[in-house]
Structure 1
Amino acid sequence: MLSSSPSALSTFLERSTRLFVITGAGCSTESGIPAYRDASGEWARKQPVTWQAFSVDPFMRKRYWARSMVGWRAFGRAQPNAAHVALAKLEQQGRLAGLVTQNVDGLHQSAGHQAVVDLHGRLDTVVCLDCQVRVLRSHHQRRLEDINPDWIDLAAARAPDGDAELESDEFDRFHVPPCRHCGGTLKPDVVFFGESVPGERVKTAMNWLDGADAMLIVGSSLMVYSGFRYARHAAERGIPIAALNLGKTRAEKIVGVTGHQVALHHLRPPRNGRLERLERTLNLLLQPNLNENAHCLPQPDGVEQGDITADHPRLFKRSNPRKTGRWRQMDPRGKLDIGELCIALQLLK
């Protein structure tokens, strides 16, 4: 049975004690990292460079590294947002079986999360295709800038995964340094489109899922099979699934075919902007009867005071405005997990 009611989703989260979480680009958009797909699951931008193109075409490698050098400055400064913090606190409470992310930004770990499988790798390291030595991307960035000084001041719009919307007739003039150890070809330590996810990551994630009592999808359409396989496996084992995502997910096909009980909710595009989306999100998980049994939580990153308190006075008040920057959320259950995750869901856009 498919349910999209707020009460069903709230009950789903309350009942789970060993939650398997998989996150996608929607979890990091509020940190300033764009997503590849739109609300319908279609490509919102040009498809990224494939593994085949990067591995065999020197021009494509030059183009990739030129765009990445420009895009890295913003990507490397990205900070965890309220979604990452909320999920890390769920882990600290012992309520997670494990978290798998399709993102390559490392923001879950920056938020304090411990048990994370970076399914598609991490962009903050670079690997040599010949000797397999890994170096920090920050070191590689300095080398790129040292030998390409004319490219440093170029400006371009941000693109997903540290890329930049940079086009040039002079990519051939861009210099890509070789591996310092063997002179080989360097590659970002991520799984390109068309490249296989390492088997040990898949195995670890499957083991976590087998030990879970529920699965939560956060900010992912699961259009890529490397992520979709976990929803399919959960459905085959009768593990209930909840999806918190703007627009459709590939998991809907599982529901229609298997008939497993899945609590699936969409956050649809609002008509009146960010505050309407926030209000819809807050109403999604919080029980209607709020009272003064409050707890404190950090103000969500990137959200100004007026965004929340002025428009939602029943939900928030300052705990001590002269001494702290913390907020109280009036939740009779007195838990951090549901309330903070509720705040974080404003990020799924």
Structure 2
Amino acid sequence: MPHTELTDFIHRHPRLLILTGAGISTDSGIPDYRDANGEWKRKQPVQHPDFMRSEHTRQRYWGRSLVGWPVMRDAQPNGAHTALAQLESLGHIERLVTQNVDGLHQQAGNRNVTDLHGRSDRVICMHCDFTCSRDEVHQRSAEMNPAFTRFTAVTAPDGDADLEVDFSEFRIPDCPHCGGILKPDVVFFGDNVPKQRVIDALDALQRADALLVIGSSLMVYSGFRFCRRAHEWDKPIAALTLGKTRADELLSLKLNASIGPVLNTALKHLSSE
């Protein structure tokens, strides 16, 4: 049984670095990027270079965000998030590194969290040190573009939406201090994770007994690198995720199962002991 195998893995490696991906948040209503084969489910997300150089890309991004952001903002932690918070309270998590930008691990109660790709609820100016909440920019966007608030669309990952309309008239909210480009405080595709963030996560991996990957296909190198390094350091790697991962050949344990039920059942066994 998957929960028995996971419980045994934690018994043998009681101090874990946990790496989570989009699959852990789907039960909270936030869509993921890839299917069970690791292929894109929809067009690739916005690319950092395009966002920075193209006004049309920024119009499209913020226009679609008017539809998509409220879904992400209002999402609540699910049973898998809660189980990991409890696993941390039992002393089994050296650090939780998440590829997600939804903040749900912190909402659930985890404290030792590295937001590898940043946080979508914060916005930064790319030209000065201005920062503000995503909700503040969302409200400004709605006030500046009332016609766009009437659109509906299927939500996409990370506050995006599958909305295809003419965005040429969309007014982009700029930095109120310097007029510069505002961007969510997240690592877009085509950008690099801040170096110190990676160093801190790898330091935690060195201290851990093993690596446990949850809900990630690991197709993006920013997550896959932790599996490569764990393998180099002879640290066992387990993955609890539906479908294939980029690191399948490196895994000591592969659990192709639903995340929430397996985590919660394993947690019950660990708590009772």
TM-score w.r.t. the length of structure 2 is 0.94
| 3-state SS in 2 of match to 1:10 | helix
Q: Is the 8 A contact 1:72 1:163 kept in 2?
A: yes
Residue 213 of structure 2 is matched in structure 1 by 217
Structure 1 residues 109-160: Cα deviation after superposition (integer angstroms, max 9, x where no partner): 1111111111111100111000032110011111101101111121111100
- Summarize the Cα distance change of 1:89–1:70 in structure 2 as closer, same or farther, 3 Å threshold: same
The one of 164, 167, 187 aligned to 1:171:
167
Residue 265 (1) aligns with residue 255 (2):
yes
- Summarize the Cα distance change of 1:278–1:109 in structure 2 as closer, same or farther, 3 Å threshold: closer
Residue 98 (1) aligns with residue 95 (2):
yes
The one of 17, 32, 37 aligned to 1:35:
32
Pairwise CA distance, 1:219:
0.2
Pairwise CA distance, 1:244:
0.2
Residue 200 of structure 1 is matched in structure 2 by 196
Query: Aligned partners of 2:135, 2:2: CA distance in 1, in Å?
Result: 45
Corresponding residue pairs, total: 273
| 3-state SS in 2 of match to 1:89 | helix
Query: For residues 1-349 of structure 1, what are the structure 2 equivalents within 5 Å?
Result: 7-168=4-165, 170-255=166-251, 262-267=252-257, 281=261, 333=269, 335=271
Query: Aligned partners of 1:7, 1:177: CA distance in 2, in Å?
Result: 51
Query: Aligned partners of 2:36, 2:272: CA distance in 1, in Å?
Result: 29
Query: Aligned partners of 1:181, 1:156: CA distance in 2, in Å?
Result: 32
* Higher helix content, 1 or 2: 2
Pairwise CA distance, 1:278:
9.0
- Summarize the Cα distance change of 1:97–1:22 in structure 2 as closer, same or farther, 3 Å threshold: same
Matched residue type, 1:37 = R
- CA RMSD in angstroms, aligned pairs only: 2.2
Pairwise CA distance, 1:334:
6.5
Pairwise CA distance, 1:75:
1.2
Query: Aligned partners of 2:59, 2:33: CA distance in 1, in Å?
Result: 22
- Summarize the Cα distance change of 1:47–1:334 in structure 2 as closer, same or farther, 3 Å threshold: closer
Structure 1 residues 190-246: Cα deviation after superposition (integer angstroms, max 9, x where no partner): 101010000111011001100000111000010000000001111111111110000
Matched residue type, 1:35 = D
TM-score w.r.t. the length of structure 1 is 0.74
User: Structure 1 regions of 5+ residues with no counterpart?
Assistant: 256-261, 268-276, 288-296, 298-330, 338-349
Q: Is the 8 A contact 1:67 1:163 kept in 2?
A: yes
Residue 273 of structure 1 is matched in structure 2 by none
- Summarize the Cα distance change of 1:11–1:334 in structure 2 as closer, same or farther, 3 Å threshold: closer
Which structure: larger Rg?
1
Matched residue type, 1:214 = A
User: Structure 2 regions of 5+ residues with no counterpart?
Assistant: none
Pairwise CA distance, 1:286:
5.4
| 3-state SS in 2 of match to 1:335 | helix
Runs of 4+ in 1 over 4 A off after TM superposition: 4-7, 284-287
Matched residue type, 2:159 = G
- Summarize the Cα distance change of 1:181–1:103 in structure 2 as closer, same or farther, 3 Å threshold: same
Q: Is the 8 A contact 1:23 1:103 kept in 2?
A: yes
Residue 325 of structure 1 is matched in structure 2 by none
Query: Aligned partners of 1:53, 1:18: CA distance in 2, in Å?
Result: 41
Matched residue type, 1:47 = Q
- Summarize the Cα distance change of 1:20–1:334 in structure 2 as closer, same or farther, 3 Å threshold: closer
| 3-state SS in 1 of match to 2:271 | coil
Query: Aligned partners of 1:50, 1:334: CA distance in 2, in Å?
Result: 42
Matched residue type, 1:265 = L
Structure 1 residues 72-106: Cα deviation after superposition (integer angstroms, max 9, x where no partner): 11111001111111111111121111000000100
